[in-house]
Amino acid sequence: MYKIITDNGSDLPKEWLQENNVGCIYLSTILDGKVINGKDVEMSAAEFYGMLSEGAKPSTSQVNPEQAREYFEEHIDEADEFLYLGIASGLSGTVGSVKNGVSEVLENHPDKKIIVVDTQSASLGQGHMVWHAVRMRNEGKSLEETAQWVEDNKLHFLLAFTVDNLFDLWRGGRVSKASAVIGTLASVKPYLIIDDNGKLVVPKKLRGRKKSLAYLVEAMQEHKATAYPENNDMVMICHGNVPEDAEYVKELVEKELGYKNFLMSNVGPMIGTHTGASLVVISFMGDKRY
């Protein structure tokens, strides 16, 4: 059986990764020159977002080729075949680093096979693909079949999100300070997606938190896939540190769209550094990203 690997950009719960035999490569979150979340260093969502609320300004660091090489060398005896599903290259250089590291690993282990897929997504959009890859592996699909299915369908995994505090996006380098000030005064709440190139896009702006949360469900209704009924039973929702808002979105999805299968999680420090505590994310399969 092949080993599936992702990175912490996927925001999948650690317990879920362990239960489903999924490996994880860690991008680092750094504060004052010290890694506060990453390989062998874990910080709870409550502690991390508490630090942000007190004015902490962490940064993140992508995986470099040497770290990727070391990861696969460390785990090379766990399987003969590996599938790595990584964070969008439009957001991080990690996938490129993994490809470079893997090339060296395969030179040393020519009997092994490693396929690297750029999911062109992040958070639970990326995590959603991992979930389906695990499902396919458990159904007996081969490494090649699973990798090809993800490659063929990755643009049908839609990730939609919103934030309540535009200054969180400004601190994370995602909007200008002027946009944050003007938007806050006007109670603007951006609706954001990751586009086909794996980059952040703001296709719509709404007024008020409830409207922006409800619009996540409206977008899902507009774009949900009818062509994938056998694969379209899972909805994933995660949040920074606003569980009540995530639960509100879940209840809307259940009531208005009838979905019953959910995976809920926190947005980890790596993603949360750039988005802040008020982030709410929804991932589902759909016809197109926008």
Q: Which domains does the chain have, with CATH numbers?
A: 3-154 (3.40.50.10170), 156-285 (3.30.1180.10)
Bridge partners of 23, per DSSP, are 5
> pLDDT (tens digit, 9 = 90+) per residue, 217-270?
999 998 876 555 555 689 999 999 999 999 999 999 999 998 889 999 999 999
> pLDDT (tens digit, 9 = 90+) per residue, 77-135?
999 999 999 999 999 999 999 999 999 999 999 999 999 999 999 999 999 999 999 99
- pLDDT for res 7: 98
Q: Is 285 helix (H, G, I), strand (E, B) or coil?
A: strand
- pLDDT for res 166: 54
Residue 109: count other Cβ atoms within 10 Å of its Cβ: 15
CB 265 within 8 A of CB 170: no
190 has pLDDT over 90: no
> pLDDT (tens digit, 9 = 90+) per residue, 15-31?
999 999 999 999 999 99
175 has pLDDT over 70: no
Return phi, psi of residue 83, to 5°. Answer: -125, 115
What pTM, to 2 d.p., does this model score? 0.92
Token readout for 73 is 């060398």
CB 252 within 8 A of CB 244: no
CB burial of residue 90 (10 Å; 0-12, 13-18, 19+): middle
142 vs 289, which has greater pLDDT? 142
The conformational region for residue 114 under phi > 0 = left, psi -120 to 50 = alpha, else beta, is beta
